[in-house]
Amino acid sequence: MCGLSGFLGAVPFHDKGRQQAVLKRMTDTIRHRGPDDGGYWIDGERGIALGHRRLSILDLSPAGHQPMHSPSGRYVMVFNGEIYNHLEMRRQLEAGVDGSASPAWRGRSDTETLLAGFDAWGIAPALARTVGMFAFAVWDRHSGTLTLGRDRIGEKPLYYGWQGRGSGAVFLFGSELKALRAHPAFESDIDRDALCLQMRYSYIPAPHSIYRGIAKLPPGCLLTVSARTREPRLTSYWSGPHQVTAGVAALFAGSAEQAVEALDALLRDAVQAQMIADVPLGAFLSGGVDSSTVVALMQAQSARPVKTFSIGFHEEGYNEAEYAKAVAAHLGTEHTELYVHAQQALSIIPRLQSVYDEPFSDSSQLPTILVSQLARQHVTVSLSGDAGDELFCGYNRYQLAARLWKTVNAAPLPLRRLAARGITAVPIDTWNRLARRTARYLPPSMRFANTGDKLHKGAQVLSHSTLDDLYLGLVSHWDDPAALVLGGAEPPTMLRGEAPPLTGLDGVQRMMALDLLTYLPDDILVKVDRAAMSVSLETRVPFLDHRVVEFAWRLPQSMKLRNGVSKWALREVLYKYVPRALIERPKMGFGVPIDSWLRGPLRDWAETLLAEPRLRSEGYFDPAQLRRKWHEHLSGQRNWQYHLWDVLMFQSWLERQAAHGVDDDEHMALMSCHTS
């Protein structure tokens, strides 16, 4: 795993040395992504600069140094990721393409293989042959064009955008925003519309970023740009929506037993390919279905005990470590676990904005950083079980949404909306008082804490007109972010206004597909990539081998959700290696008790960030709404942990931007480098 950065100028560079200083500064900001080596390449006449930081995983020798040239010399590339089938691609190239000679290999790196593939087949055709995760920037010296590329699902990040005006305009790109911010042309204009998205989803979905003019390259896409043609041209070489609908239209025709065997074989191949490394390797293990499957298949194909890592919490309801330990003992792995006290988790909070570099408020970011730190003490590469939920119908909300919709849709929409207005017309406090007075007359199963809160949430469900709207409500934090963010207007997304034509899918399948296209790349994979790379740990996700993804969508829904049991086919694979009794339990998730922490050890920190004078001075949020929710949360009247965490992560990020901005003298020096 590595990090890349660079820029393309609208005019030639007159002082290559000064431009290299800018490039080095950009690249040094992401040193954590590649502590083993750094490289720089500049063509001053063409105005292109490429920088790279290397985390050596395959071919630890200097032959893997980047930026790297293709065998013909046509392409120069900086690459982040892994091509798991690159040895197979080498054999194809060695057989010759259209009578061409076999490449004269300099080393054993997958970057060299991919560049030779670009020479032989072209960029998009070469990518079609790959199995892997990656982001790259490649300069075509013949055409004078820059191409950015990202893997099919979006495991590896890539930001880009034009900054500056006129002859001073520069096209910036890099693995993390901090690399772009280090260029003197960067403008740092916060996009309030993107902030609305973070308030709704807890993340900012591609192609948006927190800055105006800076975008994320969507998964499965190539972007081409040049100094002559400044408008980037975006093309897709692999389409998630197409693969989803194609799979549902051509379902697996074999028996359930044959499907399980086929899935077992595919996953074994994917896991085996991702176990190749020239450095120590292990896996995250929570004890759930997904990570246990990955570890079981690793151990089944390893002559030595696999190194596995788990994080445990002392708070009841948040600890899965005991289950992971039982699975590890059964499989015979070399298991390491760390039980974390609240103070250890809280100590991570000051680092969050440096790690994530953009407002990001999935609170499971905290244990993800902790387990990454633990693993990095022993290995350089760790496999994970991410994406099993999206591919095999694992999230509880899929069944919950389907049941809710079946119930509420039995009544006419006007009647439901009338009932919702009646419920919400009564204040939450009033409902709670009524509930307390009548509790003694009700059976225990009908006595609830915060009854008013639950009734108001239920009223929201009643008012939805479609299952898609209901699902959006379930995955949303702030229901009307534009009313909270001053001057913000929420842009459309795949979940709200720009859904792809997912024809042939039922309601649950649509939820799964939308999660695959949005929540997985923009939340889950961001969370894991930034956490792991902050400690120079490479993570790999066997479920995201695109052949596994495509096969999963060919499985009939009855092989994913059977008799109320989620991930049926995947469980059947796992039960070949691990007893059912070690796995079958309610799904827990990878969370932390943010709600109680905000009322306890985080209260003073949060109060500082949410102080009304501060909110008014900064001018991003409506203070009245925030202060009301903060007081309701502190009193225990409502649980607003997710809403408040969204705001606190932005406030903390904003504070860090102010504290870690480039000082005036350094900025002026860099501006001199840029304009000379």
Contact 337, 282 (CB under 8 A): no
Q: Which helix (H) or strand (E) holds 307?
A: strand 307-313
Backbone region of residue 62 per phi and psi (left: phi > 0; alpha: psi in -120 to 50; beta: other values): alpha
Question: Who contacts 447 (Cβ-Cβ below 8 Å, separation ≥6)?
Answer: 435, 439
Strand partners, 51: 5, 40
What single DSSP character describes residue 348?
A: T
Question: Who contacts 437 (Cβ-Cβ below 8 Å, separation ≥6)?
Answer: none
Q: Using CA atoms, how far apart are residues 218 and 206, in angstroms rounded to an integer? A: 6
Q: Using CA atoms, how far apart are residues 414 and 639, in angstroms rounded to an integer? A: 29
Task: For residue 2, indicate whether it is catalytic.
Answer: yes
Three-state secondary structure readout of 58-121: CCCCHHHCCCEECCCCCEEEEEEEEECCHHHHHHHHHCCCCCCCCCCCCCCCHHHHHHHHHHHH
Q: Could you say which of 2, 221, 393, 673 is catalytic?
A: 2
Q: Can you give the length of the chain in residues?
A: 676
Q: How many CB atoms lie within 10 A of CB 555?
A: 24
Residue 457's nearest CA partner among 424, 483, 431 is: 424
The two structure tokens encoding residue 217 = 């390259």
The two structure tokens encoding residue 565 = 């049991």
The backbone torsions φ and ψ at residue 186, rounded to the nearest 5 degrees and listed phi first, read -65, 135
**Catalytically annotated residues:** 2
